[in-house]
Chains A and B, each alone.
Chain A
Amino acid sequence: MAHLSYLGVLLFIVVGTGWLEVVLRTRVYRRWKRLLLSVAPLVALFVAWDLYAIARGHWTFDADRTTGVLFPGDLPLDEVAFFVVVPIAAILTLEAVRSVKGWTVGDEVEPEAPR
């Protein structure tokens, strides 16, 4: 079970933010196309950063506490999952704040005419 430690932390984040979708009606997962478009550039950028950091030895992962599934460049599956889970949690939080406080975030108006 120890090798699921990293994924366990991620599960905590998914569960810890998932209720916002239901109770505060954030409607983030429901807008999955917009979510996909938002997360994709982050996965690309932060995977690149991660690959650089792994290659340079900035950080290492405990083989006993991660799944052991590695992508090319010794990138753990757990890390890729992190770059999906954390941005979704951030977006859920922003929409939860909007839901509760009624504050604007900047997407309420029509966009400016095409440049």
Chain B
Amino acid sequence: MTYTQLGVLAVAGTVVLDLWILRTRLLRRRAFWLSYAIVVFFQLVTNGLLTGLRIVRYDAAAILGDAQPVFIGAGRIAYAPLEDLLFGFALVTQAMAWWVFWGRHGVQRTPVAGPPRRWVTGGVLGTPPRDDGPAPGGSGDDQAP
């Protein structure tokens, strides 16, 4: 199979994994899509380095574009083959799905994330500061042996 075909297959497999095998249903949550939007931006930056500097090179026969990395066009985006978006989606989404899967099955559901340190919420991010009390679900010390 070509990289293109494998990429499409991987995205389909990822959807099946999330919705029906692990039943994590992250693809239906806005938290996932915001996270993915952040990740895909940084993927373009870091993958652009890996492909633009030719640390990784691609066989033109395996991808839609050709072997020459261009910034955009000819089957490439930020130097990387478009297929890397499929690959990245599969890797990133499956990582989050397994993480949520284990949490759902009681593996270290706590200590839960957040809240952010108060100087962040009060300042940089502009959201109202929350209590400094323990986060819902645990203060973070319940995992101590």
Contact = CB atoms under 8 A, between A and B. Distances in A.
A107 B104 contact: yes
A58 B58 contact: yes
A98 B69 CA distance: 36
Interface residues of A, number: 61
A13 B42 CA distance: 9
Interface in A68-115: 83, 86-91, 93-109, 111
A59 B31 contact: no
A66 B135 CA distance: 43
A88 B96 CA distance: 9
A91 B108 CA distance: 14
Interface string B84-110: 000010011111101111111111110
Contacts of B112: 27, 98
Contact of A16 (B2, B42, B62): B42
Contacts of B137: 108
A46 to B, nearest CB: 6
Interface in A15-43: 16, 23-28, 30-31, 33-35, 37-39, 41-42
The secondary structure that dominates the A interface is: helix
B122 interface: no
A53 B31 contact: no
Which of B49, B104, B121, B125 has the most chain A CB within a 10 Å cutoff?
A: B104
Given A87-B92, A97-B35, A25 B62 contact: no
20 contacts: A12-B49, A13-B42, A23-B117, A27-B140, A38-B95, A41-B94, A42-B91, A59-B3, A59-B59, A61-B56, A86-B92, A90-B92, A91-B99, A93-B39, A94-B96, A100-B116, A100-B127, A105-B26, A106-B103, A111-B106
Interface of B: 2-3, 6, 10, 24-26, 29-32, 34-35, 38-39, 42, 46, 49-50, 53-59, 62-63, 88, 91-96, 98-109, 111-117, 120-121, 125, 127, 135, 137, 140, 143
Given A9-B55, A34-B99, A107-B109, 8 more contacts: A27-B113, A34-B108, A57-B62, A59-B57, A59-B62, A94-B35, A94-B96, A98-B113
